[in-house]
Amino acid sequence: MAVMECAFSPEYGEAWNRRQVSDTLVLTGTHYALIAPDGSTRPTGSDPAAGFALSRGVFDEEELLLFAIAPQWRRRGLGQALLVHFIESARQRGKKRLFLEMRHNNPAGKLYCAHGFRPIGIRPRYYCALNGDRIDAITQELVLA
Ligand SMILES: CC(C)(COP(=O)(O)OP(=O)(O)OC[C@H]1O[C@@H](n2cnc3c(N)ncnc32)[C@H](O)[C@@H]1OP(=O)(O)O)[C@@H](O)C(=O)NCCC(=O)NCCS
């Protein structure tokens, strides 16, 4: 939750609250991963997490629901390491297709593209910014070999 609260811009209302997270964590098919500042994807309870990924799978598909690195740990490769960890662990769970949804023009798109995600759809005006602007959501897919 500490990462959640600092990682997402309040402008777009993308962060989840504790209740939303805990309700999701108990659902079948939900997975999460934490990454520590040293790049370890299994931080112990006493380590501060630098970032996290939360996903939910159904049959052979899985959707990346939330993905964030705390601002002070960005641009050091942690996002990339966590994304690779997510992809590989989903593959080990037998997943064939991964999905995610992102705001149009989110810089995260560059990271997703570098790891094989491709845009497959647009939800027009899906996100509502605090100033009332509506922003398209881009659905991305990665097909695992
Ligand atoms: C997206 C996010 C997870 C990236 O985390 P990160 O640890 O900074 O990512 P990395 O350091 O591994 O970056 C890997 C590459 O992604 C691209 N990238 C990451 N952040 C970028 C940015 N702000 N602008 C442009 N490119 C960016 C770059 O190509 C980068 O490689 P480089 O640093 O060698 O140029 C992080 O910025 C974040 O938490 N953002 C807010 C939450 C969010 O929008 N999550 C995604 C929701 S869909």
> CATH code at 81?
3.40.630.30
Pocket test for ligand 1, best of 69, 105, 112 (most atoms within 8 A of CB): 69
Pocket test for ligand 1, best of 67, 75, 112 (most atoms within 8 A of CB): 75
DSSP β-bridge partners for residue 80: none
Nearest protein Cα to ligand 1, atom 4 = 79
Atom of ligand 1 nearest to the CA of 80: 12
- Token reading at 67: 């993905």
The range of the structural domain enclosing residue 41 comes to 2-143
133 Cα: distance to centroid of ligand 1 (angstroms)? 23
Q: φ and ψ at 100, to 5 degrees?
A: -155, 165
Domain count, the chain: 1
Sheet holding 118-128, edge to edge: 30-35, 51-58, 61-69, 97-103, 134-143, 118-128
Global pTM? 0.96
Q: Return left, alpha or beta for 141; rule: phi > 0 is left, psi -120 to 50 is alpha, else beta.
A: beta
Per residue of the chain (145 residues), what is the pLDDT tens digit?
999 999 999 898 899 999 999 999 999 999 999 999 999 997 776 678 999 999 999 999 999 999 999 999 999 999 999 999 999 999 999 999 999 999 999 999 999 999 999 999 999 999 999 999 999 999 999 999 8
